[in-house]
Structures are given as C-alpha cells and as structure tokens.
Chains A and B, each alone.
Chain A
Amino acid sequence: MIATRAVAPIANLDRVSYRYPAVASLALDDVRWRVPEGAFVVVAGPSGSGKSTLLRCLNGLVPHFSGGELAGRIAVAGEDALVAGPARLSRAVGFVFQDPEAQLLTGRVDDELAFSLEQHGVPPVIMRKRVEEMLDLLGIAHLRDRDPATLSGGERQRVAVAAALALHPRLLVLDEPTSQLDPWGAEDVLTALTRLNEDLGLSIVLAEHRLERVLSHADQLRFIEPNGDVREGPPEAVAREIDPIVLPPVTQLGRALDWSPLPLTIKAGRPFARSLDLTDSPAPPTVEPVGEVAFDVRGLTLAHDTRTVLEAIDLPIHAGELVALMGRNGSGKTTLLRSLMGFHRPQSGRIMLFGRDVTGAEPAEIGRTVGYLPQQPGTILFAERLIDELRFTLKHRPQSRAGIVETLDRLGLTGLAERHPRDLSGGERERAALAAILVGSPRVLLLDEPTRGMDAWRKAALGELLKDLRREGVAVVLATHDVELVARYATRVVLLGDREIVADGPPAEVLAGSLTFSTQVNKLFGGAWLTVDQVLAAAHTVSF
C-alpha cells in the first residue's frame, strides 16, 4: 500500500462485505477504503469487478436500494450511510450515473437542476440562486429552457452533474459518466469535473475506463485487478504496478522504456520522446492482400428528415479489409453503416454486394451475407439459453458453415451454452451477441461503436478477434471514435466530413498529423508513428 496525504476522510469504508440478493458470491469482500476530503479519486478496473457496487455504497444505494446483505461500517460526510440512506445522504453526496438518458427526470434543464432542491424544501429565493450558479458553473446556461431529451450526450451528462451538485454536496460520485459519450462529450464532462475539484475543493470519486484523460488530474487511483486485488495510491505510483494495457499509451511507453518520473500526459512525455530521437518513419505495415469487392457503393446520396446526410459517397470495401468509419458526431458514420444494411433507402446511387445490386433490398435479405451488431449488442439477446440464441440465427442461415460449438469456443464462451444470456456478465453478454451473429458465418461484418463503454481487456480481445476474421477473408466495417483501436487494427480509415468522404487510406496516412483523430503516440512523435508497438520496436533497435 502506498501512503497518501493524511487528510480527514469524506468517506470511510471499514471492512465492508456485501452480497446482492439471491447471489452466492460476494460483490465486495472485506473492503477498506478512505476517501480524503477534497481528493479526486479515480476507481478503475475491469467491468464486473465491483466498481459500481463500491460507488453505490457511498450514497447508500447499496444496500438501501439494492437489498442484499452488508457487513461492516460505512461513514460518509459524518453520517452512517447504513442508517441515513440515499435520500437523506443526497445533501452530502451527489451521484451521476452512466446512462445520460435514464437519469434525467424532468422536461427542462433548469427544472432538472431544481429537482433535488425542491425535494429538500430549499426556499425558492435560494433555489433560484443555486440554479443560476450551477448553470454557469457547468457552462450550460444557454441550455436552460431546453428539453434534456434534445441535448447531446455530453450536454446531458453536464446537466446531470449540475443537478447532482445543486444541493452543494461535499462529495460527487460518478459511475463511468463518459462511457456512453463520444471523445468530445467525454472531454467536456471531465474538464468540468477537474475545475470543480481544483477551484471548489469538491471531493470527487470517479469510475472511469479512459484513464488518459483523468489520470493527470487524479490525486489517487484505486485500481481493482482482474483477480480482485486492489492497488491504491498516487496515480504515478500505481501506474508502475498495474497491467499496462489499461494505461494511456504515453504511460505505457514510459513503463516499457523506464522513463522517470513516469509521464501521465503527452506534455510530460515530450522531453522523453525528444531524447529518443526517432527521426525515421516506422517500418510500414506489411500490406496484406485483399479479396474481391464485398460492398461497392457508388454515388450514394441519402436524406433523413429532409436533411441530406450523405452525398455522392463512393466506397468499395474488399473482403479481408478492416475499414474504420470515423468522423465527428452527425457526420453520417452510423447512417452509412445502416444504409449498407438496408435500413435506409437512398435517394440516388447504387449499393452492390458481391456483384449483386442490393439497393433498396430488405435488411433480412442483405443479412444473409452481412452480419450487423448494433451499438448495444446485448439488446439482441432474448432466448432462455445461449445455445438457443445461436440456433435462432442458424434457423435463418441454414447455409452457414460455422458450427455452434466452434463459435462458442472461438469467443471463449464454451461452458456457458446452457446459461441464460441475461445472467452473463457485461463482457460475456457482448461476446454472446457477437457469437449469435458470427454463427451465421457472415462474409461482411458491420459494427456500430463496438468499443463504447468497454474496458481495455475486452477492447483488446475484440481487436484480435476482428483481426482474425479479417484474415479469414471477412470484410469488417466499424463506425468508431476509438483512435487507438483503429491505429492498431484497422487496415483502412474512411474519414467522413460534412456528408462526404474527406479522406480514405491506410491509418498511417489518414490519422498521422490529424489534430483530432491522431493517437497519443502520433502526438508525441509526429510522422507516421501511431502505436506503442511501433515505437518500442524502433527503440529496441536504436541504442538507448
């Protein structure tokens, strides 16, 4: 254990063990945790490691809302959380959830901010002042009379933060608040949090996968290992001990090359990068042969709600390619993906699939050759047993070459065939959905934001799987914001601007030098450097 500053804790968990109702295993096992007042604490670890449960102990949702058995003591802001419960603790603890949609309760932004004040009987005069303060603090004053349903994800989460802060709590707890947001929305929310912590001294506990954005602002990192062990302390110290896969690329490099102090930000990594003196370009990736043209899109123009979303798109996609569709929100990535699947009828243009014209064809017909995984893959699961889920797909794909046993095996789901898909863990459920698609042996696979909300381990596993599929001759197309994943696994990047394709080429060409779509490594070294592996390969050949 690494020592932290001795400050009176805002929250103190003492030997807390907890079991959800009707579950045999413990969700929390003898947890001891002190959250110092005024600290910015990041909680990280694989999905299913108990981060959400731990956070819910801080405002009494566990066990007051969830039920189950809890042993130990939880003190938060001077109150016994087990006695007080979430409604009373709401004065001291603000809570922000993952899903920006499900947590907003009213039809207007300023009403949303006033909600908890009204519940606590705050006098109207003070209430008005508080609402104005919160609107300004989170930079959402211009949204005050909007319906939260019309806001972007990032705006909605800032409203949720403002609403959680209206009662002036001493502690703000956020459970993966950016996991459903695009990088820009996430940046907005995290910047706001940093300011609240630094300027107002608000204590913050944040569960987060994107460590690259928060690590430098955190005072403390509590990392839960996949085996359940906990490492806790200043981020730089903890970052030296944990699986590098979760670390920002610059920190991964620092770990591998023994940089000290270990850089947590690009700025901190720059002097080390300069000393490496990587002037040459990285070895170009081996060009792998591509197969026949799978999708051939010609002059595709598509309007949606009277607005032109895609204009004169020409895009051939070959078997054996992994094409990443990138671009800011609203640039048409998802629409293009959905048009390939036949969910949108184009105004003009043609879509050929293995030489056959499928413009305007039914999705079910296109689905005989093409697999489609929506943003929340778990939503397609309905059967009683996982094996029935795969049989359901096979019923409609009698020509499939893939067998149930080998598909389950390939996705690491052997042994779960008889389990109810909804009883699986988050990661298993995503793989189950993918298995239900892959068992139909699609020749093209379309994925919409597949890594949203995924932890680093699951992301890497998905990347490897997609790489294998590509090598087997499947054409893979994914709409994504995840630059690091694209740099590592994509063979081609298609960048959509306003309705049109603005760049199309290998990742080294499209991502290099871009201000918004480049990797941390590229920001450090420039040129065509994109990934940690490239730099490490070069660094080990150069003397250092």
Chain B
Amino acid sequence: MTLDSRAWLAWAAAIMLPLLLGRNPYMLVALFAIVLAVRAAWSQIAARQFAAWGWFLRLALVVVLISVLFNVLTVHAGETVLVHLSDRLPIIGGALTFNALVFGLLSGLAIFTLVLTGTTVAALLDWSALMRTLPARATPFAVAGSVAWSFLPQSAVAWREIREAQEARGHRIRGPRDLPPLIIPLLAGALERAMTMAESLESRGFGATGTSSQVHGLATALASALAALAAFALASGRLVLGAVAGVIALAGFAFAWRGGTPGVARTRYRTRRWRRADSIMVAGAATSALVTLVRLQTTPAGLHYEPYPVLAAPHVDLVLLFGLALLLAPAFLLPAEVRR
C-alpha cells in the first residue's frame, strides 16, 4: 500500500476517539460517511482485501441488530412508549420505548463504524512494513500479532467450507445448540494452522537472535500483572494503589526491556520512506483529534447525546464536524497512478 501504516493507524485512532466519547447522531453519521467515502476511494486498489473482511462486517451487523433488540427489550426508560408488554414477563416486561430504540440504533451505528474502521485499516495497512518500524525488541510481539491477524481471513474461508459441507449433510442452524458442528471443526482447523505457522516461524530463525533470561521473563510477567492491577485500581477509583502499582509495573517493564541479551541485532530488508502524503494524513488526524478533545471540554453537547428520558433534537457542532472532515484526507491521497 502506498500510505504508511503508521499514518493509517493515526487516522483510525482519530476516527475511533469521538466514537468512544459520545453518541451524538450528527457526529456518528458524519464519521460513518467518512469511513465509507475513504473505503469507496481505496476500493479501486483494495477491493479484494475489503472483500476478505466482508464476513466480519456481516457478523458485526448481526451483533449490532441483536444489541439494538436487546436495548429495546430490556431498557424500559423514556417517555415515548411504543408498546407495553405485560409486567409479568421477566426482564422484557414493561414499556418498550422509542427512546430505547433510538439509543440502541445510535450505539449500533457507533459499534458498526468502529468495526468498519478497524477492518478498513486492517485491509489497507501493510503489516510487515509496520513490523519493521517497531524497535527490534518489540519484533516478537509484532510477528505474533501479524500472524494472528492473517488468521482471520483464512478462518473465514474455512468457515464457509465447513458450513457448506455440514449443510450438505442436512445441518441447519436454528439455535446455539446447532453451532458445535461448525465451531469445533473451525477451531480444530485453526489450531492445526497455528501449529504449522509456529513451526514455520521457528524453522525460519524466529528467535534466533537475542535471548532473555528466565529472570527477565518473570519480570515481564509480573509487570504485566501489576499493569492490569493498576488499570483496575484506577478504573475503580483507588488512585493511590493504581499509581503505586503503575510505577512498579513500569519499572518492571523497563528492567525486562533492558535485560534481554541480544546476540545479534535483527536487520531490516527495506525501510519505507516517509512521504508528504503520510504527513498530510497524520496532520489531519492529529488536528481532528485535537478539535475533538477541545470541543469535548468547551461544547460537550456536540459529542454527547442522551435520548432519556425525553427525546430532544441533538446539538449540531459545526466546528467539530469541520474537524472530523479532515479525516476525509485519505480519500484524496490515492497513489497517482490510480488517480489517473
């Protein structure tokens, strides 16, 4: 691909930031349209990659529809009542409201746009190029990530083959109990492929340079556990405990990072030149993220929307929308040979 993978990641982060912050319908629709426009522009050269992720989008759509239904049936808040189910019914009994439907749809749109952004970037970025930009010590994680990543499209093909073969045996999915004939062969096949990949990595010298001692391995494990503890403590308001655990975890990571004894440094076959288009894309993403964060402080209504208890017209924040429009940049940064 002709744009730097890091630029794509910056773009994805700038899209995902407002998606995670609020449910304002104008903002959500704008972000959805931006991702669609970028996909449309890049589909000229990445149609096959996009198609490979199509199954994931279909799956996401199913999840979204279920979540909308779940929201409508279980959240009985809001003034605009559509229908009233008998209160004797557990959980779903009570008023089904238009407010819950609207919130469900907005959440669904946000989730779907998140997945759409993720799959767009997954299809467009060059994992091996991204891997090379990481420091040598992070390479094992990057390789593991890239191998895991290549798994999903392969699993999609396997899923189709298994589904068809079982269908030919008369199998139909009517409920969760009908899933094992599909899931078990899929997992077994994935495990077999994973073993071959792992063998292939070993046979081609992965891990041949640099060894870390058991002490440093232990340090990494402990630091990871402490980092998780710190995150939990911070999230649940125990700031002191969180801070202490965080500092120790960082020290642990630093110790593990410095401690590995590399035999020979890994080398890189090709380093990609950073281009002007990459700078434009990153600048657009950074500006957009900045606008989002500033508006979150100054005009939060541009990001937030609450349909409970009364449905009100959402706020339009033109400054925010203008900031988001900068994320259209990749649609205009197609390689010259494609534009022609």
Per the 8 Å Cβ criterion, residues 358-383 of A in contact with B are 362-364, 366-368, 370-376, 379-382
Central interface residue in A64, A124, A368, by most chain B CB within 10 Å = A124
Is B266 within 8 A of A372, CB to CB?
no
Find the A residue at minimum CB distance from B208. A87
The answer to whether A187 has its CB under 8 Å from any CB of chain B is no
A119-B209, A363-B164, A374-B164 as given contacts; A437 in contact with B203, CB under 8 Å: no
The answer to whether B79 has its CB under 8 Å from any CB of chain A is no
A103-B196, A105-B147, A392-B169 as given contacts; A90 in contact with B204, CB under 8 Å: yes
Q: Tell me which of B63-71, B180-188, B246-254, B304-312 binds A.
A: B180-188
Is A101 within 8 A of B154, CB to CB?
yes
Is A120 within 8 A of B268, CB to CB?
no
Is A396 within 8 A of B169, CB to CB?
yes
Is A103 within 8 A of B197, CB to CB?
yes
The answer to whether A131 has its CB under 8 Å from any CB of chain B is yes
The answer to whether B162 has its CB under 8 Å from any CB of chain A is yes
Is A102 within 8 A of B269, CB to CB?
no
B residues lining the A interface (CB < 8 Å):
48, 126-128, 143, 146-147, 150, 153-154, 158, 161-162, 164-172, 180-182, 184-185, 188-189, 192-193, 196-209, 264-270
30 contacts between A and B (CB under 8 A): A87-B205, A90-B208, A91-B205, A101-B154, A102-B154, A111-B270, A114-B269, A115-B204, A119-B205, A121-B209, A122-B267, A123-B267, A149-B150, A163-B204, A338-B164, A343-B164, A364-B172, A366-B168, A368-B170, A372-B165, A379-B165, A380-B162, A380-B181, A382-B180, A382-B184, A392-B181, A395-B170, A396-B169, A397-B170, A440-B169
Find the B residue at minimum CB distance from A106. B128
Cβ contacts under 8 Å, A115 to chain B: 204-205
Central interface residue in A56, A392, A440, by most chain B CB within 10 Å = A392
Is B267 within 8 A of A65, CB to CB?
no
Q: Knowing that A101-B193, A118-B266, A380-B166 touch, tell me 6 more A-B residue pairs with CB under 8 angstroms.
A: A61-B202, A164-B204, A363-B164, A367-B168, A381-B185, A382-B184
The answer to whether A393 has its CB under 8 Å from any CB of chain B is yes
Give the contacting residue for B185; candidates A97, A103, A380; CB below 8 A: A380
The answer to whether A117 has its CB under 8 Å from any CB of chain B is yes
A residues lining the B interface (CB < 8 Å):
56, 59, 61, 64-65, 85-88, 90-91, 93-95, 97, 99, 101-108, 110-111, 114-124, 127-128, 131, 149-150, 163-164, 167, 338, 341, 343, 362-364, 366-368, 370-376, 379-382, 392-393, 395-397, 422, 436-437, 440
Give the contacting residue for B267; candidates A118, A364, A393, A422; CB below 8 A: A118
Is A105 within 8 A of B143, CB to CB?
yes
Cβ contacts under 8 Å, A95 to chain B: 199-200, 203-204
Is B204 within 8 A of A116, CB to CB?
yes
Q: How far is the CA of A401 from the CA of B180 in the complex (A)?
A: 27
Give the contacting residue for B264; candidates A105, A120, A163; CB below 8 A: A120
Question: Sorted from nearest, which 5 A-B pairs have the closest CB atoms?
Answer: A396-B170, A114-B269, A121-B264, A119-B205, A102-B196
Q: How far is the CA of A116 from the CA of B203 in the complex (A)?
A: 9
Is A393 within 8 A of B170, CB to CB?
yes
Q: How far is the CA of A91 from the CA of B198 in the complex (A)?
A: 17
Q: How far is the CA of A393 from the CA of B189 in the complex (A)?
A: 21
A450 → chain B closest CB, angstroms:
13
Q: How far is the CA of A207 from the CA of B178 in the complex (A)?
A: 40
Find the B residue at minimum CB distance from A89. B203
A103-B197, A379-B165 as given contacts; A167 in contact with B205, CB under 8 Å: yes
